[in-house]
């Protein structure tokens, strides 16, 4: 079974595609029509381009939600929390192991 891999689009291409959608909207088209036309031109799905447009609107403060920088910061913090929880679990287990070893040592003497 093969997995479908996602295409990687450069940030410049993403920004350009979002600008093209916005320009086409200003010329009188709906956003959905604009997204469909531009997505076909650059070779991505409508949903992918729609998400880029929505994120661009969030970055400009036109739509509620976290901006790109905030999303990246959240992702970094979540990874850090995950790593710290793993480290704490390891330390907890090690502490329990050494405590049991100390009890065994004391009971033998």
Q: What tokens were used for 2?
A: 């093969």
What is residue 100's predicted lDDT score, i.e. its pLDDT?
A: 87
What is the arithmetic mean of pLDDT over 6-32? 88
Residue 10 φ/ψ region, left for φ over 0, alpha for ψ in the -120 to 50 degree band, beta for the rest? beta
* 64 vs 56: CA distance, rounded Å: 11
What is residue 96's predicted lDDT score, i.e. its pLDDT?
A: 92
Is the pLDDT at 92 greater than 80, yes or no?
Answer: yes
What is the arithmetic mean of pLDDT over 69-95? 96
Is the pLDDT at 16 greater than 70, yes or no?
Answer: yes
Torsion angle of alpha carbons 37, 38, 39, 43, nearest 10°?
Answer: 110
pLDDT, mean over the chain: 89
Question: pLDDT confidence of 3, banded at 50, 70, 90?
Answer: low
Is the pLDDT at 75 greater than 90, yes or no?
Answer: yes
3-state SS, 34-75, equals: HHHHHHHHHCCCHHHHHHHHHHHHHHCCCCCCCCHHHHHHHH
Q: What is the pTM of this model?
A: 0.64
What is residue 102's predicted lDDT score, i.e. its pLDDT?
A: 81
Question: pLDDT confidence of 84, banded at 50, 70, 90?
Answer: very high
């Amino acid at each position: 079974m093969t997995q479908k891999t996602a295409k990687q689009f450069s940030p410049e291409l993403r920004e350009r595609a979002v600008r093209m959608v916005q320009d086409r909207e200003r010329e009188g088209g709906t956003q959905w029509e604009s997204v469909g036309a531009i997505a076909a031109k650059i070779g991505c799905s409508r949903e992918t381009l729609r998400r880029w447009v929505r994120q661009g609107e969030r970055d400009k403060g036109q739509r509620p939600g976290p901006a790109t920088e905030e999303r990246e910061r959240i992702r970094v913090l979540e990874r850090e929390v995950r790593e710290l929880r793993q480290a704490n679990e390891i330390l907890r287990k090690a502490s329990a192991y050494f405590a049991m070893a100390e009890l065994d040592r004391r009971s033998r003497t």
